[in-house]
């Protein structure tokens, strides 16, 4: 079972084949380099596709572990969804292959690694940096929603940074095609909107809530509803108990945007195209869409 890589403009796939010609990948197609990190189900290595010399990230997952955790279905959905998305702020999944013990995902290489680590190092981001990231995420989510895909798990751990400093949404493990409204409970509590915490129906507007949470975390270094106990986070989300600390000093325009995204009634959240038109984004986001450190 090889995967076809369709021809496209940006983030060119290694040894791109035409749509008609399906490429069957194998480990022999790659030179494996240093490990980039490890996740719950396996390891990620930098690799070079021999024919094109393109650098990719090769994610190696152990079938046994996937089976034990009953996530094969989730992985299949992730691959199906992510391999069809083409956006500069969405990590490309070029293809996959497998052998007896392992599944290999061929991913776009994000040279600057995890955004989470950068946020930990700086504690919080400048308004210019935060707004640039929020704008690129809003554009990527508009693209996803246009394809009836909701991500449902937007958080710093799922964001990688490319060589130019551009943000890349990775990890579509919780994403869904949303022709129907969803009722499933998923994701880490901190980033979940009230309707998902309460397990009522939810739609693409869940991603607006998560973007609001992320914007807050970029500016203050912690998510807005954080609490020691799970039950307190739960209560704070349900009540939309949103408080802005006095430090770091943040503009009222930033607080205004966050307050418009973190609205309990999902239909009243600021639509993503309006997020892009919000004065705080207009004034602060770098028009190139890239934050240069």
Ligand X SMILES: Nc1ncnc2c1ncn2[C@@H]1O[C@H](COP(=O)(O)OP(=O)(O)OP(=O)(O)O)[C@@H](O)[C@H]1O
Return the residues of window 59-98 that contact ligand X according to CB under 6 A. Answer: 59, 91
Q: Of 31-39, 71-79, 206-214, 275-283, which segment contacts ligand X by CB under 6 A?
A: 31-39
**Nearest Cα to 11, choosing from 84, 82, 115, 94?**
94
Taking CB under 6 A as the rule, does residue 49 contact ligand X?
A: no
| 15 versus 74: smaller Cβ distance to ligand X | 74
108 is in an annotated binding site: yes
- CB of residue 213 to ligand X, shortest distance in Å: 18
Check 29, 31, 99, 153 and give the catalytic one. Answer: 153
286 is in an annotated binding site: no
Phi and psi dihedrals of 27, rounded to 5?
A: -60, -25
Encoding tokens for residue 285?
Answer: 């986001």
Binding mask 92-131 for ligand X (x = CB under 6 A): ---------------xxxx--xx-----------------
- CB of residue 71 to ligand X, shortest distance in Å: 10
Q: How far apart are CA 102 and CA 106, in angstroms?
A: 13
Place of tokens 């579509």: 172
| 18 versus 69: smaller Cβ distance to ligand X | 69
Place of tokens 């702020």: 89
Return the residues of window 166-225 that contact ligand X according to CB under 6 A. Answer: 171
Residue 264: which region, alpha, beta or left (left: phi > 0; alpha: psi -120 to 50)?
Answer: alpha
**Nearest Cα to 221, choosing from 254, 194, 247?**
247
Q: Of 32-40, 187-195, 199-207, 271-279, which segment contacts ligand X by CB under 6 A?
A: 32-40
- CB of residue 47 to ligand X, shortest distance in Å: 11
Report residue 144 CA to chain centroid gap.
11
Give the DSSP per-residue string, 170-232.
Answer: ---TT-EE-SS-B----S-GGG--HHHHTT--B-TTHHHHHHHHHHHHHHHSS-TT--SSHHH
- CB of residue 41 to ligand X, shortest distance in Å: 6
Q: Of 39-47, 138-146, 205-213, 257-265, which segment contacts ligand X by CB under 6 A?
A: 39-47
99 flagged as catalytic? no
Q: Is the dihedral of CA 77, 79, 85, 88 positive or negative?
A: positive
Interface residues with ligand X (CB under 6 A) are 36-41, 44, 57, 59, 91, 107-110, 113-114, 160, 171
Which residues participate in the annotated binding site for ATP? 40, 59, 108-110, 157-158, 171
Which residues are catalytically annotated? 153
Which residues participate in the annotated binding site? 40, 59, 108-110, 157-158, 171
């Amino acid at each position: 079972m090889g995967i076809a890589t369709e021809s496209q403009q940006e983030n060119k796939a290694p040894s791109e084949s035409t749509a008609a010609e399906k490429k069957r990948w194998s480990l022999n197609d790659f030179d494996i380099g240093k490990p980039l990190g490890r996740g719950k189900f396996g390891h990620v290595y930098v690799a070079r596709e021999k024919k094109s010399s393109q650098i990719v990230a090769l994610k190696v997952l152990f079938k046994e572990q996937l089976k034990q955790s009953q996530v094969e279905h989730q992985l299949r959905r992730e691959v199906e969804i992510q391999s069809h998305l083409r956006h500069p702020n969405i990590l490309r999944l070029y293809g996959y292959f497998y052998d007896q013990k392992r599944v290999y995902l061929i991913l776009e290489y994000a040279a600057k690694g995890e955004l989470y680590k950068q946020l930990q190092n700086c504690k919080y981001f400048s308004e210019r940096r935060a707004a640039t990231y929020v704008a690129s995420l809003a554009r990527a989510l508009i693209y996803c929603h246009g394809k009836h895909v909701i991500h449902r798990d937007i958080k710093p751990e799922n964001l990688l940074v490319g060589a130019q400093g551009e943000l890349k949404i990775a990890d579509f493990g919780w994403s869904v095609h949303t022709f129907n409204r969803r009722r499933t409970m998923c994701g880490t509590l901190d980033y979940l909107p009230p309707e998902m915490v309460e397990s009522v129906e939810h739609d693409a507007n869940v991603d607006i809530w998560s973007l609001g949470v992320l914007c807050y975390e970029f500016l203050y270094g912690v998510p807005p509803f954080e609490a020691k106990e799970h039950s307190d986070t739960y209560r704070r989300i349900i009540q939309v108990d949103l408080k802005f600390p006095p430090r770091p000093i943040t503009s009222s325009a930033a607080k205004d945007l966050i307050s418009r995204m973190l609205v309990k009634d999902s239909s009243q959240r600021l639509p993503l195209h309006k997020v892009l038109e919000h004065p705080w984004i207009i004034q602060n986001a770098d028009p190139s869409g890239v934050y240069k450190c």
